[in-house]
């Protein structure tokens, strides 16, 4: 996901000049708001890229971000996080588990952890397997170097589908916001919309 500066279109379908001096005049750390940009008000440009943006694995010349998500067996997102594009997936495994809210069941206290956790080869680390066992979670993680055909694909496609749902929102498919908190707000809103649509289908 990449951020870039957009110019405005003038009459006659020609690409006009960018907002005159807006980015150059904005001071780092200045309060968010609107600035004058020609004949209209434009969002105030952000400061330097935050810690949740980094070299993209597919294009090192452009800074990018990565979405991490954990879902239930039906694909309902339970927790999401945002990191730089160069962060290893496994670093977000435990933070995502800690972010899972209480899920009410039929009887008893709301649950906060699953019985099993399915993951792909990117999470194949013995350290994290031990930490999952300590939490009472059985890890079912594909092993690196092994041929395909482990059977985990019949479970993992659920998460891939949820990621495609997230990226169906245009503001998440390409990151336009320089500020991490604004993009995370859109990410949280998208997870709520996905959950709401799923509940509507069940009613």
pLDDT tens digits, one per residue of 165-174: 999 998 888 8
Please report the sign of the dihedral spanned by the C-alpha atoms of residue 24, residue 27, residue 32, residue 35: negative
Q: For the segment 110-137, what is each residue's pLDDT rounded down to a tens digit?
A: 877 888 998 888 888 899 999 999 999 9
pLDDT higher than threshold 70 for residue 20: no
Q: Closest by alpha carbon to 103, among 84, 83, 86, 79?
A: 79
CATH number of 95's domain: 3.30.420
Residue 177's alpha-carbon distances to 16, 48, 189, in angstroms, are 22, 12, 15
Same domain, 151 and 108: yes
Mean pLDDT across the chain, nearest whole number? 75
* Domain around 81: 54-202
Same domain, 39 and 59: no
Q: Closest by alpha carbon to 164, among 95, 82, 69, 73?
A: 69
Cβ neighbours of residue 129 under 8 Å, at least 6 residues apart? 139, 141
The pLDDT assigned to 61 comes to 59
Same domain, 31 and 60: no
DSSP string, 136-196: T-EEEEPPTTSPS--STHHHHHHHHHHHHHHTTSHHHHS---SSHHHHHHHHHHHHHHHHH
The pLDDT assigned to 137 comes to 93
Same domain, 39 and 127: no
Same domain, 79 and 179: yes
pTM of the predicted model as reported, rounded to 2 decimal places: 0.64
Residues linked to residue 54 through DSSP beta bridges, in sequence order: 64
Same domain, 27 and 124: no
State percent of the chain over pLDDT 70: 65
SS3 state of residue 31 = coil
Structure tokens belonging to residue 50: 């935050």
Cα–Cα distance, 157 to 177 (Å, whole number): 29
State percent of the chain over pLDDT 90: 18
**For the chain, the helix, strand and coil percentages under 3-state DSSP, each to the nearest 5:** 35, 20, 45
Same domain, 84 and 16: no
Same domain, 98 and 193: yes
Residue with tokens 């940009």: 37
Counting the structural domains of the chain, the total is 2
């Amino acid at each position: 996901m990449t951020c870039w500066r957009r110019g405005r279109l003038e009459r006659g379908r020609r690409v006009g000049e960018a907002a005159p001096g807006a980015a150059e005049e904005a001071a780092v750390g200045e309060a968010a708001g609107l600035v004058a940009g020609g004949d209209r008000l434009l969002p105030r440009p952000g400061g330097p890229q935050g810690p949740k943006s980094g070299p993209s694995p597919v294009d090192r010349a452009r800074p990018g971000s990565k979405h991490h998500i954990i879902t239930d067996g039906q694909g309902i997102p339970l927790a999401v996080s945002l990191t730089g594009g160069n962060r290893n997936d496994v670093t977000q495994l435990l933070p995502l588990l800690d972010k899972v809210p209480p899920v009410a069941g039929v009887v008893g206290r709301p649950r906060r952890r699953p019985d099993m956790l399915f993951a792909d080869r990117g999470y194949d680390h013995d350290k994290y397997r031990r930490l999952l066992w300590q939490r009472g979670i059985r890890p079912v993680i594909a092993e690196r170097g092994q041929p395909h055909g482990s059977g985990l694909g019949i479970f993992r496609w659920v998460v891939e589908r949820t990621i495609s749902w997230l990226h169906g929102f245009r503001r998440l498919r390409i990151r336009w916001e320089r500020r991490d908190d604004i993009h995370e707000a859109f990410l949280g809103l998208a997870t709520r919309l996905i959950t709401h649509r799923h509940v509507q289908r069940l009613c």
